[in-house]
């Protein structure tokens, strides 16, 4: 399994793109602005999208992905997510006002998109790969994901503040090969981090003491302009034995 980082910033500007992870060639985790970097043929090859939540930076490319690739598709795009997340898409995006309802065109019987609700802990298997939503602690209904290949796994926190359930999942993943966890704000903006339910370095460092694994830790969703400050604060306080680095756009993570 190969995970290509199309976007991993907490914002845009200066070449930054928001969250979108491409798994092999046919699965997306979130549909942020990073999706726009793909060629048209690559967009048409995407068959499944797993959403963490419905905030705009994680869904903004979905309407145009469908509009651009619909005529090239052999089968509908399956959009997986919490029932509350899918309802937001129905009510607020694919409502014929913001965007056409691709779950009903060209016909309700043969649409370009289908919805597939799932709950934390429910695993979707696609060949030798599995995708399991895990709990997150955010301002709206949200999850992270555990991705598993033939012999190893990756945990992606999604947007979240500190919560014990994330680290229970991480520590139970004995085949963990990569850990991607968000940290959006520096410690001087701790109040904003708390209000928006995102990690800041002091909170992440405290939670990293729970981490019993050795897999590298990749930091994602850093807000534009604060990247160096956030990473400096994390590295200053984190256990020295851990491998910690910022996730970067264009990076590829391999799962054996």
According to CATH, the topology of domain 2-254 is Metallo-beta-lactamase; Chain A (3.60.15)
Can you read off the two tokens belonging to residue 154?
Answer: 């990756």
Q: What is the pTM of this model?
A: 0.97
Residue 220, number of CB atoms within 10 A of its CB = 23
Q: In b/e form, how buried is each residue of 12-30, taking b as 16+ CB within 10 angstroms? A: beeebbbbbbbbeeebbbb
DSSP 229: H
From the list 175, 132, 173, 139, the residue with the least C-alpha distance to 159 is 139
Cβ atoms of 52 and 158 within 8 Å: the answer is yes
* pLDDT, tens digit (0-9, with 9 covering 90-100), for 34-67: 999 999 999 999 999 999 999 999 999 999 999 9
pLDDT of 91 reads 98
> What is the domain partition of the chain in residue ranges?
2-254
pLDDT of 74 reads 87
Segments of the chain scoring below 70 in pLDDT? none
Cβ atoms of 160 and 199 within 8 Å: the answer is yes
* Torsion of Cα atoms, 198 then 200 then 205 then 208, to 10°: 20
Q: What's the chain's length in residues?
A: 256
């Amino acid at each position: 399994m190969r995970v290509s980082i199309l976007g991993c910033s907490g914002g845009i500007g200066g070449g930054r793109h928001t969250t979108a992870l491409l798994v092999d060639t046919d699965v997306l985790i979130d549909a942020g602005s990073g999706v726009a970097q793909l060629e048209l043929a690559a967009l048409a090859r995407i068959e499944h999208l797993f959403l963490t939540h419905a905030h705009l930076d994680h869904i903004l490319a979905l309407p145009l992905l469908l509009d651009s690739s619909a005529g090239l598709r052999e089968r509908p795009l399956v959009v997986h997510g919490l029932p509350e997340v899918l309802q937001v898409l129905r009510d607020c995006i694919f409502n014929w006002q913001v965007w056409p309802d691709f779950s009903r065109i060209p016909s309700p019987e043969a649409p370009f998109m289908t919805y597939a609700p799932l709950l934390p802990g429910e695993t979707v298997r696609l060949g030798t790969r599995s995708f399991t939503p895990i709990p997150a602690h955010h301002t709206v209904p949200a999850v992270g994901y555990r991705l598993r290949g033939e012999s190893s796994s990756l945990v992606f926190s999604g947007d979240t503040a500190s919560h014990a359930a994330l680290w229970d999942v991480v520590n139970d993943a004995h085949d963990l090969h990569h850990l991607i966890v968000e940290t959006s704000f520096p410690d001087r903006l701790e109040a904003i981090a708390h209000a928006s339910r995102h990690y800041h370095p002091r909170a992440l460092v405290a939670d990293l003491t729970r981490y019993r694994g050795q897999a590298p830790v990749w930091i994602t969703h850093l807000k534009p302009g604060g990247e160096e400050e956030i990473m400096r604060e994390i590295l200053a306080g984190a256990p020295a034995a851990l491998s910690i680095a910022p996730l970067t756009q264009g990076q590829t993570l391999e799962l054996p």
